[in-house]
Amino acid sequence: MSLTQIRPVAQHQSPPPTPGRAKLWLHRFDNKTIPYVLISPFFILFAVFGIFPIIFNGVVAARNWRLDDPDRTGWAGAGNFTRLLQDEDFWNALGNTFGIFILSSVPQLLMALILASLLNRKLRATTWWRIGVLLPYLTPVVASTLVFSVFFNRDSGMANWFLSLVGFGQETPLDWRAEKWSSWIAIATMVNWKWIGYNALLYLSAMQTIPKDVYEAAAVDGAGPWRQLWQITVPMIQPVVVFTVILSTIGGLQLFNEPMMFDENPQSASGGSDHQFQTIAQLIYKVGWKDLDMGYAAAMSWALFLIILIVAGVNTLLTKRIGGDR
Amino acid sequence: MERLGRRGFLTVAAALAATLVVSGCSGEKLEGDSSNNKGAGAVTLKVNFWGDMGLDQLKAKYEAAHPNVKIVLNSGEYNAQHEDLQKKLIAGSGVPDISAVDEGFIIQFRSQADKFVNYLDKGGAEFESRYLPWKWKQSLSTDGKQIGLGTDVGGLAIAYRTDLFQKAGLPTDREAVSKLWTTWDDFINVGKRYTEKTGKKFVDSGTNMFNPVLAQQPAGFYNEQEQLTMDGGPKVAFDTSIKAIQAGISANLVSFQPGWDQGFKKDQFAVLPCPAWMLGHIQKTAPDQKGKWDIATVPGGGGNWGGSFWTVPAAGKNVDAAVDFVKWLVQPEQQIEVFKTVGNLPSQPALYKDPAVLNFKHEFMNNAPTGQIFASTAENLKPQFLGKKNGPTRVAVENVITRVQQGKLKPEDAWAEAVKEAEKVAKSAQN
Amino acid sequence: MTTFANRAPQDTPGSWKTYLGLTIALLVAAFPVYWMFVIATSTDAAVSQIPPSVIPGGEFLNNAREVFTLQQVYFAASLINSFIVASVTTAATLFFCSLAGFAFAKLRFRGRNALMVVVILTLTVPTQLGVVALYIVMGKLQWNGTLLAVIAPGLVSAFGVFYMRQFIAHAVPDELVESARIDGANTMRVYRSIILPAIRPALAVLGLLTFVMAWNEFQWPLIQLNGTEFPTSMVALSDLASGNYVIYRRVLAGAFLATVPLIVLLLAGGRQLVRGIMEGAVKS
């Protein structure tokens, strides 16, 4: 937006006189009530469809409810929650979730920024490039997880074939699912593959609205595209960056599909033979639908909710601090 | 996008509203049904299952004989169907009239027996004598309610590669091979011979040995008082699979994963614990191996892997009609029909004398009389009590075996670890 | 040496490094999709082939025919149903979320910040039991088993509101709104004349992402439409995976067919996307 488009501020400070009470009422309505009208569709929908599931979840978390033991009912109070503190599976899953989260979100967003900047040039065949990078996001989960499952196969997967090219794992091919570090990398790769294009598109749409004179005005001699990207472009799209940080935090901590599909026995939801890549969402699924302990699963999902709140809050503050508050 | 004038807004809003109304009306409502009562006594039965249970022809036959009954078949993904049933049971609505439940999930649902029709209340007691005893017991709840009428069983035999056996100097005729391994220790020894001779692995996975052995034991993970009893049957089964892994005869693959599929082609294993329903998969995955496979009996004589039941959720709208249909489905005539069309083995031993089963020869598997072989393994299995936590406990112990296979756990430490994991599962049931 | 900093990147033609980076990105992004197509055009044995087959087979029509004619999968209908669900959801989302985002970004009202936080919070709500609870709610409304039940919860998304708010906050200067106000424009006038033109790129992006999200949704449509004669595409895909073991060539053929409409949409709307985004830029 060019500065020349702003009209000079009018000299008179008060609005022109409003003739008649009807007009006055309309004006007040417009100012005071319309905002609430505009945001109401979301809240109405949420009140109808969102509140009950939350209450349901809350009530269930405070009760004993096991699908395989109909006799065990009644209020558990905080029992389900205190059980969490001593549950080593829970803490293990928490560690896994964080590990995978860091491995996926940080490189993902950085690469998305770089990719967006590449796309933000005068290019030939622009549409094709954009479609191309969005393909992972379009692909149904069932297809992409099969492909990666084969890719990370121990005996004949392509990942191990690549590794063998650089001399790795000649004697015994790497079993990606066997260790924490390898399974985390594999899952993070799947997640990054899916979401980089998506985030790049969000960044790109924001980058394209940066006014050109910002670049002209910020003349820094000898600066290459790298500096330009990090010193001018990224700070200018900070709100969208914050947005993606929050979203990828929420999504990353709730990671479910990829660990489920990476399991060699998907329906066991064990996250590996030693729970090496079991995320919290996966553990909640297992506790609720496999161990049939609904009360405990509900309590665990509240714990996850709390964790997401805290981490997303921290991440937001960090991002705002780094980007300079706006 | 052009500037939307006010007219534009109104058009969009109107279009939206119209579509919402249309989509609301275009639904065939699952409850509050008017469709079920068109005409006197007209009934629609919705059947949930997975794969092909031979229902297409049977449906036509039943509808012809019962003009007031319409049957709607809903085949879905194996796990999704069971989860769907569980969720609808919780919600108390939207249940199908009839739901197939697999052996892997039957314990979960028999613990919720009050949500299903008890066949014993609907004249089902007469069926008990017709079924394999262990099959009848599987769907019987602890307070004596029968929620399932069995349809098929998997049986369990050992499929083996005749060409690979020949290369290793082993006999290839199925009678001779069956004699080679009447016990599991013999089986492991044959495996060692094979591996030493050829340098390749013998069996596809240690866990695929654990389950058959466990099923043959008189007692499983839990006794009838729902207490964990690891030292009996589970220890025998566990030790067998660890022995197999230590003998280096396991290819350490996981069933039905792409790696396992590839294992067929790469000759990574020569034998495979195989139920009746797996034959189709072998055929499709390795079509060029036709005639190179054969079937022998399983060590220990009896075995079963898989099989399903027909259940009728109590919240359904047409419970009596549904029960009638199920009772018809499990009649000998229909069960033989299913065997002929899709190869599912019936769970009623009397049918094993039927010529269709007795004389059946499987072309791909070197014309083996698979009907007879699988039937005899199903017959020879003794009933074993399965506790409520059988499923999760089994998964936990299987994970320990996998860890040994992956080299993350030493065989000496494995048993203690297995007990620890099993106790964790059992304890979580007490909380 | 060119001082890049003086020229906006949108005006800088891509260098060979740019194209190299983009090509690598495209290869990485597209290869799994390509392999999916390979399996979808092959026989059963191809999934387990070693080395993995990279050349498409000739079975696509065969597999596709199976997908479409498999009884009780209703694949063709599922594509149409997905289209209905996704379109309605997208139209509603664009409409309601842009209004709400505008309100949160540019209007002043009591509780604005607190309510915005609530909107974001709804994104973090645990969902494991959500499907069952929502099914119960729909039961009370008697909407179970209809497309309406599938569409309704998604009409206004917190994601959309949040995204619009961020974008409007960033792309529309306060002064522009102020000066319009001073000229006597009411709120809706401001929305129509000032906000809408400025957020074209965001609308294009949000529209696209919402459409894809609605199209690929699985859990909720599954519990609603399982067993009906009008599933959505992902539900139909799940039915294709029916059986004791998954027949991958069928599932992937179905997955490929279910993705094609999205690609077509992207191609058709892509020009619009590019133009919309470019116009948004030119305006400044």
* Same domain for C19 and C91: no
pLDDT tens figures, A9-21 = 444 455 555 557 7
C184 inside domain: yes
Question: What integer pLDDT is reported at residue B29 of this predicted model?
Answer: 40
| Interface list for C 175-234 with A (CB within 8 A) | 175-176, 179, 182, 184, 186-188, 198, 201-202, 204-205, 208-209, 212, 216, 218, 234
- The residue among C19, C48, C65 that closes a domain is C65
Q: In terms of domains, do C125 and C182 share one?
A: yes
Structural contact between residues C85 and C214, judged by C-beta atoms closer than 8 angstroms: yes
Residue B48, φ and ψ in degrees, nearest 5: -100, 130
Share of chain B above pLDDT 90, in %: 71
Contacting residues of B for A270, CB less than 8 Å apart: 395, 399
- Is the pLDDT higher at B268 or at A10? B268
**Predicted local confidence at residue C1, as pLDDT:** 42
Quote the pLDDT of residue A168: 77
Is there a single domain that holds both residue C49 and residue C121? no
Distance from CA of C50 to the nearest CA of B (A): 7
Instruction: Name which of A151-165, A301-315, B22-36, C68-82 the model is least confident about.
Output: B22-36
Q: What is the pLDDT of residues A213-258, one digit of tens each?
A: 878 776 665 567 788 888 888 888 888 898 899 999 999 999 998 9
Per the structure, the count of domains in chain C is 2
The pLDDT confidence band at residue B184, using thresholds 50, 70 and 90, is very high
Average pLDDT estimate for B100-119: 94
**C247 lies in some domain:** no
pLDDT tens-place string over residues B300-312: 988 899 999 999 9
CB-based contact (8 Å) between A92 and chain B?
no
Burial of A288 (0-12, 13-18, 19+ CB in 10 A): buried
Mean pLDDT for the stretch of residues A193-222: 82
pLDDT of A75-85, one tens digit each?
Answer: 888 889 999 99
Instruction: Identify from A146, A156, A201, A314 which residue to disrupt to test chain C contact, counting C C-beta atoms within 10 A and taking the largest count.
Output: A146
B397, B418 contact by CB (below 8 A): yes
pLDDT of residue C101 exceeding 90, the answer is yes
Q: Is residue C209 part of a domain?
A: yes
Task: Tell whether B13 lies on the interface with C, counting CB pairs under 8 A.
Answer: yes
Query: What confidence score (pLDDT) does residue A205 get?
Result: 85
Domain residue ranges of chain B, discontinuous segments joined by +? 34-153+307-365
Q: Kind and range of the H or E element at B160?
A: strand B157-161
SS3 content of chain A, % helix, strand, coil (to 5): 70, 0, 30
Is C170 domain-assigned? yes
Give the CA dihedral C108, C110, C111, C113, nearest 10 degrees: 20
Domain carrying residue C27: 2-65
Buried b (16+ CB within 10 A) or exposed e, B43-73: bbbbbbbbbbbbbeebbeebeeebeebebbb
pLDDT digit string, tens, across residues C210-256: 999 999 998 899 999 988 888 999 999 888 887 777 788 888 899 98
Within 13 A of A80's CA, how many CA atoms are on the CB side? Answer: 29
- Say which of A179, A264, A289 has its CB closest to residue B257: A264
pTM: 0.89
C191 within a domain of the structure (yes/no): yes
Q: Over the stretch A27-55, which tens digit does the pLDDT of each residue have?
A: 777 788 889 999 999 999 999 999 999 99
Distance separating alpha carbons of residues C59 and C64, to the nearest angstrom: 8
Minimal-distance CA residue of chain C relative to B289 = C45
Given this model, what pLDDT does residue B27 score?
45
The last residue of one of the domains, among C26, C41, C65, is C65
Of C72, C132, C148, the CB nearest to B87: C132
Q: Are residues C98 and C26 in the same domain?
A: no
CB < 8 Å to C28, chain A? 193
Task: Find, among A118, B417, A197, the residue nearest to C17 by Cα.
Answer: A118
- Asked whether residue C232 is assigned to any structural domain, the reply reads yes
Q: Are residues C61 and C128 in the same domain?
A: no
pLDDT in tens, B355-397: 999 999 999 999 999 999 999 999 988 888 888 899 999 999 9
B389 in the Ramachandran plot: left (φ > 0), alpha (ψ -120 to 50) or beta? Answer: alpha
Question: B76 has which bridge partners?
Answer: B50
- Beta-carbon separation of C205 and A201 below 8 A: yes
The confidence score (pLDDT) of residue C273 equals 60
Say how many C-beta atoms besides its own lie within 10 A of residue A224's C-beta. 12
Cross-sheet strand order for the sheet of B293-296? B271-274, B157-161, B293-296
pLDDT at A321: 79
CATH value at residue C123: 1.10.3720.10
User: Is residue C100 domain-resident?
Assistant: yes
Domain B34-153+307-365: assigned CATH number:
3.40.190.10
Any domain includes C245: no
CA dihedral B272, B276, B277, B283 (to 10 degrees): 60
Whether C54 and C81 map to the same domain: the answer is no
Sorted by where each starts, the structural domains of chain A and their CATH numbers stand as: 17-61 (no CATH), 80-325 (1.10.3720.10)
Q: Which of A239, A189, A199, A191 is nearest to A113 (CA)?
A: A199
User: Do C110 and C164 have their domain in common?
Assistant: yes
What is the distance in angstroms between the Cα of C12 and the nearest Cα belonging to chain B? 26
Query: Would you place residue B339 in the very low, low, confident or very high pLDDT band (cuts 50, 70, 90)?
Result: very high
